[in-house]
Amino acid sequence: MSNMGKRLTGMKRSTRTSMATYGMVILAYIVIQLIRGLRDGGVGPLLEGQLIPICAYVTMALALNLVVGISGELSLGHAGFMSIGAFAGCSMAMGLESVIPAAPLRLAAAMVFGAAVAAVLGFLIGIPVLRLNGDYLAIVTLAFGEIIKGVVTNIYLGLDSAGLHFSFLTNGNELLDGGKELIKGPVGVMNSERISTFTAGFILVMIALIVIFNLVNSRTGRAIMAARDNRIAAESVGISVTKYKMIAFATSAALAGAAGTLYGCSQVTFVATKFDFNTSILILVFVVLGGLGNMWGSVIAAAALTILPEALRQFQDYRMLVYAIVLILVMLATNNPTLQSFFARLFRRGGDDDDAAPRKGKLSRKEAAR
Amino acid sequence: MSRAQEGRKPTKMVPVPSHSIIPERDIDKSPILECSHLGIDFGGLRAVDDFNLTIGRTEIAGLIGPNGAGKTTVFNLLTKVYQPTRGTILLDGKDTSGKTTVQINRMGIARTFQNIRLFSNLSVEDNVKIGLHNQERYSAIEGVLRLPSYWKRERSAHERALELLSIFDMQDLANHKAGSLPYGAQRRLEIVRALATNPSLLLLDEPAAGMNPSETAELMDNIVKIRDTFQIAVMLIEHDMKLVMGICEGICVLNFGQIIAKGTPAEIQANPAVIEAYLGKRKEG
């Protein structure tokens, strides 16, 4: 424990930010669990059904923020990685049903598998994509998101005592008795059991936070931010820009994959078209609203904007209209200079200088640096 | 033969026809940098041509010339921002052809930029720590899991960063955002960041630009101090003749991409070709 004193004295703003974010998430979890345990009807049917999707979307927002905010590359295809995680993870969960009877353990195994598959795919997509810059990269990731959707819609996967059966475009799998279809093309996945829990979602959000904060505050994170801020300068001090962009991209894909598994296993059924361009944009909205590079902002924005459409059900047909208006008002408010300086003052009271990561409204900074 | 083919022709190693003066103390050692017949074309423009230069182990060398003479292009060639069209660069006796900017830095060349290129959103200390990237190594996994190696390396990076910053008395600014520093301090921070990569040759592109006379005088002392402490070679581009004549042991004058003179400060000051390049030819009659 000799490090402890040094750690505390060396506690910088970044460390305090991460501690505050952990605290916020843990507190929210405890409060919700208390309400669910003590009050009749828990947090209400509306919020109850949204708890796991909130955790999944918070993780998605954190994952995308790693790419957009920290690594400075605009990805418009992140729902694709969520999709891969959902389909790979949930098939794994169903396949392991007889092997691992304990649901939490099975979910953990499924998430690890979903994350691994998404990470590998992220790595493969990253090879061509990360050679591009700015707008081109955004367009290519968008295309990859659509390709993933198209491919997954046409996958048929079955499992029986003889092993895995795979066919593409048409269902040619002939399963033996007792076999089950894991992925049924356009019909998607029918989960045999909904194994995702709110606690699992909370743990995933915490893992995502720890991974991202620890990564950002390490040698690797500094290299990623150096590559973002000035590519030429980063190379001049011996940092391989592509390598570090790849680490950020693959880590983000892995987290998105785990979030996909969590989401998929919380649904009775889901289809590939759920994870389309709109979902990618929705997650990007969380990130931009929460602030680029600002992790606690992403957590709050993702949670609030996931509940909002449900909370607006009373407006019936005008629900999405009100949603859009609320979104515009919030964006205007957070970009208001008076409010910004108020928050800046609130934070500066803490002590030293600005956050390591850029704040909102910096999306054009990349363009300016070119 | 087209120019493209000429560019692909394997370059022969030719003894350097260099008249450059290696300082007395380096004369028995092999030079740190040897450029022979170095050149680059941009389209039809020969931006740099037949550039031959040798720099001693602990020499402070100056590269001067009028605007647009190709000085920064030479730096970009040495650091492989541009791949040379012709010629060879030997760093510490090793050929650098085909190397990337990243590899060149690991081989021992560090540089600063004419238009400052700091990581301006990050803190001063983080900027130096990024320079220490290849000095204090641990893997991404070790960083995420915060294994003991992470704490050990981070502590040592922190100490080395402060130590390097203390060269310019900047350790108190460690927690400031790099972009918020005054201009002169940003230039100094860039030098510190370059030094952090543990180079054997430090390239400074107009280090005194935008500095007042007293800051420039201090910078001169510090460049000499850096050379003495780290025992490295320094090559600098500068328009401030007081600085160049004050600390450079060898000076190379470039005009229209070609070397027009090499020599000691005294020789350069007396060289008619240099005077002509800077002031123009006296009108006869």
pLDDT in tens, B216-225: 999 999 999 9
**ipTM score of the complex?**
0.87
Task: Report which DSSP code applies to A370.
Answer: -
- Assess contact for A62 and A267: CB atoms under 8 A: no
Q: Residues B68, B97: one domain?
A: yes
How many CB pairs (< 8 A) connect A and B?
112
What's the pLDDT score for residue A10?
A: 52
Q: Residues B213, B277: one domain?
A: yes
Q: What percent of chain A has pLDDT over 90?
A: 57
How distant, in Å, are the alpha carbons of A53, A250, B8, B228, B256 from that of A115? 17, 10, 46, 52, 57
- A175 vs A300, more confident: A300
pLDDT exceeds cutoff 50 at A287 = yes
What's the pLDDT score for residue B240?
A: 92
Query: What would the two tokens of residue A157 be?
Result: 């996967």
What's the pLDDT score for residue B95?
A: 93
* Residue A367's pLDDT band (cuts 50, 70, 90): very low
Rounded CA-CA distance A127/A145 in Å is 15
Which residues are CB-contacts of B91 (< 8 A; sequence separation ≥ 6)?
B32, B33, B104, B107, B108, B109, B200, B201
Query: pLDDT averaged over chain B?
Result: 88
Whether A215 and B136 lie within 8 Å, measured CB to CB: no
- Assess contact for A118 and A84: CB atoms under 8 A: yes
Q: Residues B187, B203: one domain?
A: no
Whether A238 and B106 lie within 8 Å, measured CB to CB: yes
Rg (CA), chain A: 21
Residue where the block lists tokens 């960083």: B143
Q: Residues B139, B250: one domain?
A: no
Q: A51-65 vs A241-264: helix axis angle to the nearest 10?
A: 170
Rounded CA-CA distance A290/A303 in Å is 11
For A13-369, CATH number out of 1.10.150, 1.25.40, 1.10.3470, 1.10.10 equals 1.10.3470
Is residue B2 assigned to a domain?
no
What's the pLDDT score for residue A323?
A: 84
- Burial per residue of A262-298, b for 16 or more beta-carbon CB atoms within 10 angstroms, e otherwise: bbbbbbeebbbebbbeebbebbbbbbbbbbbbbbbbb
Q: Residues B281, B159: one domain?
A: no
> Of the candidates A326, A317, A327, A311, which has an alpha carbon nearest to the alpha carbon of residue A47?
A311
> Of the candidates A191, A358, A356, A153, which has an alpha carbon nearest to the alpha carbon of residue A272?
A153
In degrees, to the nearest 5, what angle opens at C-alpha A66 toward C-alphas A65 and A69? 60
Query: What dihedral angle (degrees, nearest 10) is formed by the CA atoms of B56, B61, B65, B67?
Result: 110
* Residue A100's pLDDT band (cuts 50, 70, 90): confident
- A298 vs A100, more confident: A298
pTM recorded for the entire structure: 0.86
How distant, in Å, are the alpha carbons of A155, B42, B77, B114, B276 from that of B68? 61, 14, 15, 13, 16
Dihedral sign (CA B130, B136, B139, B141): negative
**Average pLDDT of the residues in A67-74:** 93
Of the residues B135, B160, B194, the one at which a domain ends: B194
- B29 vs B228, more confident: B228
Is residue B219 assigned to a domain?
yes
Whether A354 and B177 lie within 8 Å, measured CB to CB: yes
Q: Residues B171, B203: one domain?
A: no
Whether A220 and B140 lie within 8 Å, measured CB to CB: yes
- Assess contact for A267 and A191: CB atoms under 8 A: yes
pLDDT exceeds cutoff 70 at A129 = yes
* Residue B284's pLDDT band (cuts 50, 70, 90): low
Is residue B17 assigned to a domain?
no
Rg (CA), chain B: 20
What's the pLDDT score for residue A347?
A: 63
Rounded CA-CA distance A203/A256 in Å is 14
- Assess contact for B37 and B87: CB atoms under 8 A: yes
Q: Residues B98, B203: one domain?
A: yes
The partner residue sitting opposite A226, judged by closest CB among B130, B145, B150, is B130
Q: What is the CATH number of the domain that holds B221?
A: 3.40.50.300
Which residues of chain B from 221 to 280 reach within 8 Å of chain A, CB to CB? none
Whether B133 and A219 lie within 8 Å, measured CB to CB: yes
Phi then psi for residue A31, to 5 deg, are -60, -45
Q: Residues B278, B227: one domain?
A: yes
Q: Residues B85, B218: one domain?
A: yes
Query: pLDDT averaged over chain A?
Result: 86
Is residue B132 assigned to a domain?
yes
pLDDT tens column, B169-199: 999 999 999 999 998 899 999 999 999 999 9
Q: Residues B156, B279: one domain?
A: no
Is residue B113 assigned to a domain?
no
Domain borders along chain A are 13-369
What's the pLDDT score for residue B20?
A: 54
Query: What would the two tokens of residue A99 be?
Result: 């092997």
Of the residues B194, B212, B244, the one at which a domain ends: B194
In degrees, to the nearest 5, what angle opens at C-alpha A180 toward C-alphas A174 and A186? 80
pLDDT exceeds cutoff 80 at B30 = yes
* Residue A46's pLDDT band (cuts 50, 70, 90): confident
Q: Residues B272, B207: one domain?
A: yes
Rounded CA-CA distance B45/B41 in Å is 5
**Any idea which of A49-58, B23-32, B85-94, B234-243 has the lowest mean pLDDT?**
B23-32
Q: A295-311 vs A51-65: helix axis angle to the nearest 10?
A: 140
Q: Residues B144, B280: one domain?
A: no
pLDDT exceeds cutoff 60 at A355 = no
Which residues of chain B from 117 to 146 reach within 8 Å of chain A, CB to CB? 117-123, 126, 129-131, 133-134, 136-140, 143-146
Mutating which of A22, A66, A207, A219 best tests the B interface, going by the most B Cβ atoms within 10 A?
A219
- A212 vs A171, more confident: A212
Is residue B20 assigned to a domain?
no
What's the pLDDT score for residue B243?
A: 94
Tally of domains in chain B: 2
How distant is the Cα of B196 from the closest Cα of chain A, in angstroms? Answer: 9
Of the residues B166, B194, B222, the one at which a domain ends: B194
Is residue B95 assigned to a domain?
yes
The partner residue sitting opposite A222, judged by closest CB among B105, B129, B155, is B129
What's the pLDDT score for residue A309?
A: 83
Q: A134-153 vs A103-129: helix axis angle to the nearest 10?
A: 130
> Of the candidates A3, A9, A6, A22, which has an alpha carbon nearest to the alpha carbon of residue A212?
A22
How distant is the Cα of A359 from the closest Cα of chain B, in angstroms? Answer: 10
pLDDT exceeds cutoff 90 at A333 = no
Rounded CA-CA distance B78/B91 in Å is 9
- Assess contact for A132 and A76: CB atoms under 8 A: no
What's the pLDDT score for residue A348?
A: 61
Range of the domain at B167: 118-194
- B211 vs B13, more confident: B211
**Any idea which of A177-181, B99-103, B179-183 has the lowest mean pLDDT?**
A177-181
